[in-house]
Structure 1
């Protein structure tokens, strides 16, 4: 009599059933899983702009994953991001995100739709007017965070886009830069020969900054953060 190797014994039992329904059952399960994942992928690529609510069991939701539209708007405006339909997202949705959607659907006994993503403009297929976070709507302008992936944003991104956050920020930035330019211009005898010379230099610098910005920013179809965070067009 030999000692029993449980692993080998388990494999022996399984192998005896290879000709039974075991393999068919496994194949069916895997096929159903693949079909389910494909359905989720297809749903992510569909336009769901009209869907603003999913039937979820409130007691099963994680409070830390619930966000109001105002919270999403603030982070989009601060970091110059867009909050758009997942059908416009041009990068691949990771398998981990699909798995989380599948688990949510199973847990809440429902089919999810209306997917939204927060990401930089370059991550979307923006339409001509002529590091991402996946959300689903749960009603009353509240959204549930499903999955986050990608790299973290650089700490200075918020500072870089602060001047173009809105018109007020741009005006303040233009004034500060104009003051610095005026202070850097050597006075010499300029103040004696030209009355209010520093003020004239400041006004000239301010006018030049605004003109250059208007040409580059607006003529290129750009706009302030507060205006674009939910727009699906790149030139409006």
Structure 2
């Protein structure tokens, strides 16, 4: 009666043909050392990137069109959601195993060694070990970047609104104007009662404008913060 074939045993036999007096434990150790060496190489490149180049060569027949983004698109998203786009050498959080695997797979598929890695993340991830939606890119040249991997938690849906006022100077002025108008109409009766007129309202409005602008700039100078439009590629936490 014919016996069934154990594929695992067949694999072991085939492997042992190339390894006489085979030491399984030694072989396993060598495998793990090889994996560790390759992973270490990727992590070292991420920690020091860019090392040798800022442009990578990809096989046009194997790229994912949905992973290609231009610097203008990256800039807009970073400014809208107050994110940074920096070299990975400034990234302080840990990389999940999927990142290393994705890089190794891309390098094998495209027959290249990637360098010049960039990452999109909130500024706190360039200081603290937290995970909040980082995106890892490799430059392709001519302002284009290839998305390698995204991990961590998604951003809060209100993040864009939260940082809208400090997106740029124009937004700040609109926010100050809106807040001043609201503050004026909410408090005009408190200050003037039924005796308020246009002159009183105008003075109160200017008071709110001056006070709100003063608070914004006091906080900005004291904390060293800058508008999102000017700090999305800055490696500094405070205005330099």
TM-score scaled by structure 1?
Answer: 0.87
SS in structure 1 at match of 2:164: helix
Is the Cα contact below 8 Å between 2:52 and 2:115 reproduced in 1? Answer: no
For the structure 1 residues 10 and 62, does the alpha-carbon distance in structure 2 shift closer, same or farther, using more than 3 Å as the test? closer
Distance, in Å, in 2 between the alignment partners of 1:73 and 1:48 is 20
For the structure 1 residues 13 and 117, does the alpha-carbon distance in structure 2 shift closer, same or farther, using more than 3 Å as the test? closer
RMSD, aligned α-carbons: 2.5
Which consecutive unaligned segments of at least 5 residues does structure 2 have?
Answer: none
The Cα shift of 1:20 comes to: 3.9
Identify which of 212, 217, 224 aligns with 1:214.
217
The Cα shift of 1:34 comes to: 2.4
Paired residues in the alignment total 228
1:191 lines up with 2:193 in the alignment: no
Which consecutive unaligned segments of at least 5 residues does structure 1 have?
Answer: none
Distance, in Å, in 1 between the alignment partners of 2:228 and 2:193 is 42
SS in structure 1 at match of 2:50: coil
Matches for 1:1-236 after TM superposition, within 5 Å: 4-7=3-6, 10-11=8-9, 14=12, 17=16, 20-21=21-22, 23=24, 28-48=30-50, 51-125=53-127, 131-185=133-187, 186=189, 187-191=192-196, 196-236=199-239
For the structure 1 residues 28 and 211, does the alpha-carbon distance in structure 2 shift closer, same or farther, using more than 3 Å as the test? same
Provide Cα deviations, 1:97-131, integer angstroms capped at 9, x if missing partner: 110100111111111000111000000039xxxx1
TM-score scaled by structure 2?
Answer: 0.86
Distance, in Å, in 1 between the alignment partners of 2:13 and 2:154 is 48
